[in-house]
């Protein structure tokens, strides 16, 4: 099997589906509301043989928001091992939105030192468009697996580190939410959370980095978009979003570009905007 980097194409996966040391992860998820859960939606159609990964379960145990924070290395190993994910496997992760929560799973594994993971570019929509078959029904359980000791890399930023960065300006803070979310109201998704954004943040919607088919644009196109938004890829970047999920898309894009260093503010606006003691900017134009 060839060595891949951060993404694989649907033709590649069509060719390699069924390879012994390949495991497919379905990470379909959405912000919890009154609609069916990500698992239930994924059970309607998923790539054959996939294992389901719920980012609400592979997360730190918390009783208040933000809920899906990075778990400790020991808890991460326990949770992914319970799912039957093998530490020696090459992992391909996707979601049914094209690209959303799959990037979060990619980022967590990479942060924990598992380099053999890639995102299916375009996700389930691209898979179906390329003629890939899907199956329905509950995901087949796998026997649990023991993982070796893990150590989390320096890719996670806390609210206190982001607050300190407002003074030091050691890193560029990039908010990947839509302009409306960045400037206006977020209460429809995060009850009790203020509208607005973190001071000094640059707004670059992660959707601008992908085309209408959810596929990443070329590295040169993405570099141009970064430049047009005043983002210097030679300087450190902290990605932030609504709840620490789509910020991971920026981390993935920067790796695809091949320049820059990107960490993720794990709590993102769900944490920051929920704390009245932290500064916020509201600009509805």
Strands in 156-157's sheet, in edge-to-edge order, are 156-157, 262-265, 237-240, 172-175, 202-203
Distance CA 282, CA 285 (A): 9
- Label the pairing between strands 51-52 and 172-175: unpaired
Provide the token pair at 93: 């992760």
Q: Which residues are catalytic?
A: 241
Q: How many CB atoms lie within 10 A of CB 92?
A: 25
CA distance 283 to 184: 7
Question: Given the DSSP bridges, would you call strands 90-94 and 22-26 parallel, antiparallel or unpaired?
Answer: parallel
- Tokens representing residue 42 in the block: 């994924």
């Amino acid at each position: 099997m060839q060595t891949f980097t951060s993404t694989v194409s649907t033709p590649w996966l069509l060719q390699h589906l069924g390879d012994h040391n390949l495991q497919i992860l379905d990470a379909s998820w959405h912000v919890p509301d009154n609609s069916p859960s990500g698992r239930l939606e994924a059970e309607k159609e998923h790539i054959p043989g996939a294992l389901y990964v719920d980012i609400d379960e592979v997360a730190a145990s918390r009783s208040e928001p933000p809920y899906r924070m990075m778990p400790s290395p020991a808890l991460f190993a326990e949770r992914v091992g319970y799912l039957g994910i093998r530490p020696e496997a090459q992992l391909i992760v996707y979601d049914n939105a094209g690209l959303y929560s799959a990037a979060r799973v990619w980022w967590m594994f990479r942060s924990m030192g598992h380099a053999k993971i890639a995102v299916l570019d375009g996700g389930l929509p691209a898979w179906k468009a390329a003629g890939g078959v899907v199956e329905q029904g509950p995901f087949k359980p796998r026997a649990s697996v023991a993982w070796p000791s893990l150590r989390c890399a320096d890719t996670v930023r806390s609210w206190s580190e982001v607050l300190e960065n407002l003074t030091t300006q050691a890193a560029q803070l990039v908010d990947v939410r839509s302009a409306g979310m960045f400037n206006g109201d977020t209460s429809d998704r995060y009850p009790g959370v203020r509208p607005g954004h973190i001071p000094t943040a640059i707004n670059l919607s992660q959707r601008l980095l992908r085309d209408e088919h959810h596929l990443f644009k070329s590295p040169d196109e993405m570099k141009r978009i970064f430049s047009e938004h005043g983002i210097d890829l030679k300087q450190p970047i902290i990605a932030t979003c609504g709840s620490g999920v789509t910020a991971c898309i920026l981390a993935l894009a920067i790796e695809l570009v091949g320049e820059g260093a990107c960490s993720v503010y794990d709590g993102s606006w769900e944490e920051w905007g929920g704390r009245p003691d932290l500064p916020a900017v509201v600009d509805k134009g």
